[in-house]
Amino acid sequence: MRQRSQTIGTLGRAPARQSKTHPSQPGPRPNKTPDPTPAPKGGVRRWLRGAFLDNIGLKFLSIVLAATVFLLVNDDKDREITVRVGVLYVLPEDRVLVSERIDDVRVTLRGPWRRLRNFDERELSRISLDLRNAPTGEIAFTSDMIQAPSGLTIAQISPRSMRVAFDKRTEKTVDVAPIVAGHPQHGYMVVEIKAAPSTVRIRGAETLLAALSSVRTREVGLEGRTDGFVAATALVPPDGIELIGSDQAEVQVQIDEELVTRRLPGVPVGVIGDGVDLTRWSVTPAQVEITLTGALLAVEKARDLMRPVVRLLPADKLGRAAEVMIQGLPPGVGVRISPERVKLLPGIPAAKQPATAPPPPLTP
């Protein structure tokens, strides 16, 4: 008969549990869990380095994608921009708008930033303000006057309204007033200025036309001119006044030499003559007053060239009255001498008296 322990061992059963070996008895020592391996020095540093630098390309791409998504999400938020929109007026034919016009208004648009960023002001048409049947008073600017672009809404319009006032429209004929600037060349003067046409027909508010007597032209320059001329120019009506017909005109300017009369007081009189001892003669009064008349340039020239003199004859006697003559007088200049005659006296030669002194200044 087989032993029990052998039969069980043959069938594969686990051997019977053995009793613990007494410490004093020799035998195999029980297995113990090994101690964990201590972390090597610098492990935390290597871990951080790997977290930031390992697969750096993928990590950078992730950051870019996250930022892009953030911006796209935020771009969808509504924002506002302000643009200017022009105002077009439709006015009545028999009345004139006399209140101040508003040429444009500020319009605030609201919508996604991506839409606003691509917005073009030309997408907004001008406001058409029909005043043909409007009474005097306030006219409001409303959002329904503006067609908002797709995806945008109108948040605000400034100013919100304007005041309108009308006056009766009428017509009137007024003079054309030619306007010139500058001066002709020295020695020349403007003789006449006239416009062609001399009158013009205008249209406007009855109140404005009642106080208007002429329409001005643009300035025509005269600086340095010596001859007459004709210049084409434009009419410049006041604000709110409309010209009926052409706005062009001609300014005709007539320029001529300036005619003047000048007095020269205290001009010394000289003595001349052939076959006469001039050292024995003088005149009284020794000075005369001369009045010159003619073109300004010729009179100024005469002042420098002329000389009043008395001509002596061999037969002249002391005390004789002699006529004063002018030597060197340019043609075209009139002269008057006061006194016209002087007396002959013995004395210092007149030729050596102050006759050679500079001529006196011209006196108007």
pLDDT, one tens digit per residue, over 181-203 is 999 999 999 999 999 999 999 99
Render pLDDT for 41-78 as a digit per residue (tens, 0 to 9).
Answer: 567 777 766 666 677 777 777 787 777 666 655 555 78
Give the pLDDT score at 360: 60
Would you say 362 and 300 are in contact if contact means Cβ atoms under 8 Å apart?
yes
Model confidence, pTM: 0.58
Q: Which residues contact 350 (CB under 8 A, 6 or more apart)?
A: 269, 270, 271, 278, 281, 282, 283, 286, 310
Amino acid found at 315:
A
Render pLDDT for 11-22 as a digit per residue (tens, 0 to 9).
Answer: 444 444 444 444
Tokens found for residue 168 = 């009766």
- Fold of the domain spanning 259-356: RNA Polymerase Alpha Subunit; Chain A, domain 2 (2.170.120)
Question: Nearest-CA neighbor of 133 among 93, 104, 170, 81?
Answer: 93
Residue intervals of the chain classified under CATH 2.170.120.30 are 78-164, 259-356
Question: Nearest-CA neighbor of 285 among 355, 348, 342?
Answer: 342
| Alpha-carbon span 68 to 194, nearest angstrom | 76
Per-residue tens of pLDDT for the chain, all 364 residues: 444 444 444 444 444 444 444 444 444 555 555 555 555 556 777 776 666 667 777 777 778 777 766 665 555 578 889 999 999 999 998 999 989 999 999 999 998 888 888 888 888 889 999 999 999 899 999 988 988 888 888 999 999 999 999 999 999 999 999 999 999 999 999 999 999 999 999 999 999 999 999 999 999 999 999 999 999 999 999 988 999 999 999 999 999 999 999 999 999 998 888 877 777 888 899 999 999 999 999 999 999 999 999 988 877 777 788 899 999 998 899 999 999 999 988 865 444 444 445 556 655 5
CATH class of this structure's domain 78-164: mainly beta
Architecture per CATH, domain 168-257, reads as Beta Complex (2.170)
Residue intervals of the chain classified under CATH 2.170.120.40 are 168-257
DSSP 306-357: -EEEEE--TT--TT-EEEEEEESPPTT-EEEEESSEEEEESSS-GGGSGGGS
